[in-house]
Amino acid sequence: MSENALVVASALRRHFVSGTERLDVLTGLDLEVRAGETVAITGESGCGKSTLLGLIGGLDRPSAGTLTVDGIDVAGLGESELSAYRNRQVGFIFQFHFLLKDFTALENVLIPGMVGRESSRSLAARARRLLGEVGLGNRMNAWPLELSGGERQRVAVARALINAPPLILADEPTGNLDERNARGVEEMLFSLVERHQRTMILVTHDTALSSRAGRRLLLSGGVLQPA
């Protein structure tokens, strides 16, 4: 294991059971991601890319194997500890923005920090700064329905960064956007990750997006290999 490894998965397995049928999705996967790396994971639909991100993000638990993030044994956390882990250690960006329609752009960005019970004054200042960085400094008080698809995804990126998590997990972050907006969000996302010195693992079918990552991996047959 590298000295500066942030994410380490060893012999990671995940299967699902439906009735008498068992589906083995991850079959002994190994992964090591160093702090500051950007890693893109590609593969066919249904191969387990989102399953892997869910395990790393603490949204699901492995069937077997070990998984540590920033020295934390993710699989061994209790439910309350998992909630704190998801709030402080990981920033999620999904294909769909999942903004709350009854909250402004600024309020949506604030929510993870409010869950973490941070000082409202410092939190609000950071949220405004992040919205400025994603190009929405003049749209902070807009409602989600008043924002374009690209703008909503930019709010989601700012929200993922609000608690300064060491790890960003992005699941098809441009998959719901047209080509012009996809390239704009792509440029903004990689720029922010570099500027804030975050580590990012993303899964995507978008070759232009995956080519921006420092390392590309292919998930096939339940294991990872160089793409």
The string of pLDDT tens digits covering residues 54-101 is 999 999 999 999 999 999 999 899 999 999 999 999 999 988 888 999
Distance CA 124, CA 109 (A): 9
CATH assignment, 5-226: 3.40.50.300
Q: What is the pTM of this model?
A: 0.93
Distance CA 2, CA 73 (A): 17
Distance CA 159, CA 49 (A): 22
Distance CA 145, CA 168 (A): 26
Q: Residues with Cβ < 8 Å from 214, sequence gap 6 or more?
A: 37, 38, 39
Q: Given this model, what pLDDT does residue 217 score?
A: 97
Cβ–Cβ under 8 Å, residues 217 and 53: no
Q: Given this model, what pLDDT does residue 114 score?
A: 83
Tokens (6 digits) for 116 = 């973490």
**Would you say residue 1 has pLDDT above 70?**
no
Q: Count Cβ atoms below 10 Å from residue 133 Cβ, excluding itself.
A: 18
**Residue whose entry in the numeric block shows the structure tokens 């492995």:** 62
Tokens (6 digits) for 51 = 């399953």
Can you say how many angstroms the Cα of residue 178 is from the centroid of all Cα atoms in its chain? Answer: 20
C-alpha torsion 101→200→52→13, nearest 10: -150
Distance CA 157, CA 173 (A): 9
Phi-psi region of 103 (alpha: psi -120 to 50; beta: other; left: phi over 0): beta
Distance CA 219, CA 223 (A): 6
Q: What is the DSSP letter of 91?
A: E
Cβ–Cβ under 8 Å, residues 91 and 168: yes
Could you tell me which of 99, 208, 201, 206 has the C-alpha nearest to residue 143? 99
Q: What is the DSSP letter of 166?
A: S
Confidence of residue 118 (pLDDT cuts 50, 70, 90): low
> How does the average pLDDT of the chain come out, rounded?
91
Largest CA distance in the chain: 55
